[in-house]
Amino acid sequence: MCGIAGKLLFEPEGRVARADIEAMLRPIAHRGPDGQGIYLDDNAGLGHCRLSIIDLSTGDQPMANEDETVWIVFNGEIYNFKPLREDLLSRGHVFRSRSDTEVIIHLYEEYGADCVRHLRGMFAFAIWDKKHRRLFAARDRVGIKPLYYCQTPDALYFASELKAIITDPAVSREISLPALRQFFSFFYLPGEDTLFRSVRKLLPGHYLLAEDGKISFRRYWDLQFTHQRWGQSFEETVEELDGLLAATVRDHMMADVPVGILLSGGVDSSAVLSYAVQGTAKKVKTFTVGFDGGQVVDERPFARLVARRFGTEHYDLSITAEDFWNFLPAYAWHMEEPVCEPPAVALYYVSRFARQHVKVLLSGEGGDEAFAGYPNYPNMLRLDRIRSALGPLARPTGAAAALVGALFGMARVQRYGTALGRPLADCYFSRTSSPSTFFNRSAQRFFTPEFLAASAPLSAPNTMAELLRPAADWPLLNQMLYADTKTWLPDDLLIKADKITMANSLELRVPLLDHVVLEFAASLPPEFKVKGKQTKRVLKAAFAKVLPEAVLARKKAGFPVPYENWLRRELKGKVEDVLCSPRAASRGYYRNGAVSRLLQADSLHGSYAKEMFSLLALELWHREFIDRSTCSSV
């Protein structure tokens, strides 16, 4: 795992200065504290900071082929690099290292841009083809590793993190108000947008080519829901999935440094651990974070149970409200986007602790998105059955239910009433948002007219309608899974997973998001994933052979953090000091008194913690990325 950065001047006679690449690497040095490298070739410059995981002695980057006509900077891991290497050797390619990085170079020589189709892993990389004066950059299929880029009239910039790009004075820091409106709708930024108008994210499953002053983009992979396994029995599918997961986790254990497991005590991380211990004779180390006081489910007892079951060397820790608050400025700096993801704070502390013992962690992230583990899936399916039964009465019935829910403070009734009788794109922005959330239903009262007018071009329903167009004929469950895999998963969960663990120079791997596992899940009939109130059926059945019943039967807790209580109790004064400050009011987004009224409403009703954290994250983001003249670590 590493950090990459680079710059390509469109003028062939131009010269990229070493100082420019050094400046880009400086704010992302935490991604690779084991070494830095720079390659310059007239109008092109590549930079790399290395976290050594595989081939510790000869894996330095930027790396070149034998005649130094192809150069690469690479962030990630390629889990099938050994068979790929053997095939390339048989084709006459000559290797100078045993790293997965060099495999990509020779794949590019062999297949050009199609090299990405051969890779199984998580990656973001850029290749400078010296002979053709071409830059080729790609991001993995699911979006596990980030890649940002910026195109100015004179140059193309790219980097693992946004902050590396904006070190250059030529890159504008103008805020995109339509993107900000998207944040208020989704609580994160879906798709290509960042809050900077000039900087974008390369989409998962895409690559870019820059040649002769022109930049083109192409999608090389998309998740397709097929009928491939609809004829199999449930039992046959469970057996096949068990074998696939065992092999996938074994591949993800590959490293030349210590590997541990991020253990929540939930089904997915416990199952990843069960497969991990099968593939190694070494004692596996596991790590858990919890909270005292009974305000949320404490994961630690469940994690300890699983750790004893599999004989791990187990560690856990607890964090406080003060710990939570103290990290928030650094949260804004590391996340780079005002994502509403309070569990990221807990992840920071547990990964910081784990880094004292290991350099790589595996987690159970992704099982819910691949195999439908969230309760909103059966809830929406039930709603769809009601909609079908009501026929033309669905819309007026839904409107009446939404009104009753709003009048009597019944959020769930209001949410499902709003959704009844409406297209999926109108009622299901993604797993985290809907038209009934506060910022959507109260936009006219909360935001200034000027902000609403300037941010109007984008809308959440339009975003989702466009995204769901290829899935229009799929079963409803598959449409929801597709939406979440394209939005919530890469732009919230995986941004959190990458940025926060790399803040501690720690590599996080997510075997349940291996694209082969995702494609397997997408080939199953919907009822193998959700039936009645049962979620993740086939995955839990595969895990039933190895996990304690107490873990299998426990209610889903996610990664609970008692931030709601903290924000309205222990941290209430500090939150008010930030959000009600003249500095925050000067942004021009909110009507006079709107934020104060929201905080007061939360104190009375206790239902706006997500909105409060989002406003807090946004204000801290402004202070780090807009108010500061330079972007340096907090």
Q: How far is CA 415 from CA 375, 440, 460, 470, in A?
A: 14, 12, 16, 26
Bridge partner list, 573: none
Q: Which listed residue (2, 49, 150, 340) is catalytic?
A: 2
Please give the average per-residue pLDDT across 342-357, as a whole number.
Answer: 95
Please give the average per-residue pLDDT across 558-574, as a whole number.
Answer: 87
Smallest Cα–Cα separation from 430: which of 370, 471, 482, 365? 482
At a CB cut-off of 8 Å and minimum separation 6, what does 526 contact? Answer: 372, 475, 477, 478
The CATH homologous superfamily for domain 234-372+485-553 is HUPs (3.40.50.620)
At a CB cut-off of 8 Å and minimum separation 6, what does 514 contact? Answer: 79, 120, 248, 251, 252
Task: Give yes or no for residue 593 having a pLDDT over 50.
Answer: yes
Give yes or no for a contact between 39 and 62, defined as CB atoms under 8 angstroms apart. Answer: yes
Please give the average per-residue pLDDT across 81-88, as a whole number.
Answer: 97
Please give the average per-residue pLDDT across 84-112, as a whole number.
Answer: 95
Rounded distance, CA 346 to CA 352, Å?
10
Tokens of 312: 């791990």
Instruction: Please say if 2 is a catalytic residue.
Output: yes
Please give the average per-residue pLDDT across 120-144, as a whole number.
Answer: 97
Say what angle helices 234-252 and 515-522 make with each other, to 10 degrees. Answer: 170
Query: Under DSSP, is residue 85 helix (H, G, I), strand (E, B) or coil?
Result: helix
Give yes or no for a contact between 451 and 508, defined as CB atoms under 8 angstroms apart. Answer: no
Domains 2-219 and 234-372+485-553 share a fold: no
Strand residues in 198-274 grouped as ranges (E): 199-201, 206-211, 214-219, 259-262
**CATH architecture, domain defined by 2-219:** 4-Layer Sandwich (3.60)
Task: Give yes or no for residue 39 having a pLDDT over 60.
Answer: yes
What percent of the chain is helix, strand and coil (3-state, nearest 5)?
A: 45, 15, 35
Q: What local confidence, expressed as pLDDT, does residue 282 receive? A: 82
Rounded distance, CA 116 to CA 219, Å?
11
Return the domain boundaries, the chain. Answer: 2-219, 234-372+485-553
Q: What local confidence, expressed as pLDDT, does residue 629 receive? A: 59
Say what angle helices 594-605 and 609-625 make with each other, to 10 degrees. Answer: 140
Tokens of 419: 């959704």
Q: What local confidence, expressed as pLDDT, does residue 32 receive? A: 92
Whether pTM > 0.85 for this model: the answer is: yes
What are the tens digits of pLDDT across the range 324-341?
Answer: 999 999 999 999 999 999
Say what angle helices 321-335 and 609-625 make with each other, to 10 degrees. Answer: 50
Average pLDDT over the chain, rounded to an integer? 91
Q: What local confidence, expressed as pLDDT, does residue 634 receive? A: 47
Please give the average per-residue pLDDT across 204-224, as a whole number.
Answer: 97
Q: What local confidence, expressed as pLDDT, does residue 611 receive? A: 95
